[in-house]
Chains A and B, each alone.
Chain A
Amino acid sequence: MSETSTLWRPPLGDALKIGRHGRRVDRAGVTVDIVRPARAWSLVARRGAADALAIAAEQELGLPWPKAPRYAARGSTFVVWTGPDRWLLVEGPAGMSDSVRATLPAGVTSHVYATDQTDALQILHLSGPRLRDALAKGVTIDLHPRSFAPGNAAITQVSHLTVNLWQISDDPIFGVAVARSLAGSFASWLTASAAEFGLEVRDGADI
């Protein structure tokens, strides 16, 4: 692990402490992995450039570029639709810096306005057998498998906090991105909501 791992602090600070919380059970009902992105960008397509961007991104990043509320991943790089002609692009994890680009490929940058969000967002991976039960306490959209499947994404509110939410796999594993300034409030909601199922918080870099 590089030196950066000892200096890095998650945007949510100490609001989610590594370890077990809530009910003592053998297997935690909800598991949170604190993700350390190497780089996160918000991308906005230049006027009329959304189609050209999709082609360039698919070629240069190898990602099927979402044109609807969807998520796609390739290796440790992923993209989430965040609004019409807008996306969140994340490369990670930190600590694998040799595989991480410092800048976006030129073919992509010529079609977008890009803003670095690496330290502006808290990204978490949520999993566990009781995850949907915990999320149902704050998410108002239907996350039942018949209406929300791997690859689906949504911008919605969790306990009145606006978040980006996407489903990674059937297990289920969900990803969530919350603004740094709201991360502490989100963490306290999650801790309270998952307490009855048992909550385990892990440092994502250790996965």
Chain B
Amino acid sequence: MRIPCCYCGARGHEEFTYLGDATLARPSTEIGAPADDATAAAWHDYVYVRDNPSGRHRELWQHTGGCRAWLVVTRDTRTHEIHGVEAARDVALAREATHE
């Protein structure tokens, strides 16, 4: 499998480290808020519960053997076909902008 890093170009997957599901969003807990059941459940899901999709999946990869950038890679889990690579920084900033 080769991943086209948006900074470095296409490289073998051995230069990259898989860092998990890119679709998860950290629960927005206020500092000092009571740790109620709903909050605990949201954190439990965020930390432990993962889907195991067959097909396209948005994943975090880091180009650890290259530019060290975090990437959001859209990959088909059945074929390893890569449908897109974005800088995770840009994805996070865009997500922040839509929430403001």
Contact = CB atoms under 8 A, between A and B. Distances in A.
A48 to B, nearest CB: 11
Interface string B1-26: 00000011101101100000000000
B15 A156 contact: yes
Contacts of A68: 7
A154 interface: yes
A69 to B, nearest CB: 6
Given A84-B87, A140-B12, A69 B65 contact: no
A157 B7 contact: no
B11 A162 contact: no
A83 B11 contact: no
Interface stretch (B43-51, B52-60, B66-74): B66-74
B41 to A, nearest CB: 35
Given A69-B8, A83-B7, A156 B68 contact: no
B67 A83 contact: yes
Contact of A140 (B11, B64, B87): B11
A82 B66 CA distance: 9
A205 interface: no
B14 A154 contact: no
B1 to A, nearest CB: 13
B7 A156 contact: no
A68 B8 CA distance: 8
Contacts of A162: 64-66
A155 B8 contact: yes
A69 B8 CA distance: 7
Interface of B: 7-9, 11-12, 14-15, 64-69, 87, 89
Given A155-B68, A156-B66, A162-B64, 7 more contacts: A69-B8, A69-B9, A69-B67, A83-B69, A154-B8, A155-B65, A162-B66
